[in-house]
Amino acid sequence: MRFDDKTVVITGGVGGIGQALVELFAGEGANVLFSDRSEEDCGDLSEALKRKGLDTHYLAGDLRQKTYCEALIAEAVLTYGGVDILINNAGIIPRGNILDTTDDMWFSALDVNLTAVFYLCRAAIPQMRKAGGGAIVNTSSTWGIYPGPGHIAYCTSKAALAALTKSLGRDHAPDGIRVNAVCPNEVNTPMLRSGFIARGIDPANAIEELGKTVPLGHIAEPAEIADVIAFLASNDARYVCGETVEVSGAKPVYG
Task: Choose among 151, 156, 140: nearest CA to 247.
Answer: 140
The reply to whether 146 belongs to the active site is no
Whether the Cβ atoms of residue 154 and residue 93 lie closer than 8 Å to each other? yes
SS3 content of the chain, % helix, strand, coil (to 5): 50, 15, 35
Give the Å distances, CA to CA, from 227 to 18, 79, 233: 12, 26, 10
Residue type, 24: L
Q: Residues 58, 68, 80, 154: which is the catalytic one?
A: 154
What single DSSP character describes residue 219?
Answer: P
Give the Å distances, CA to CA, from 20 to 68, 140, 224: 23, 17, 9
Supply the residues annotated as catalytic: 154
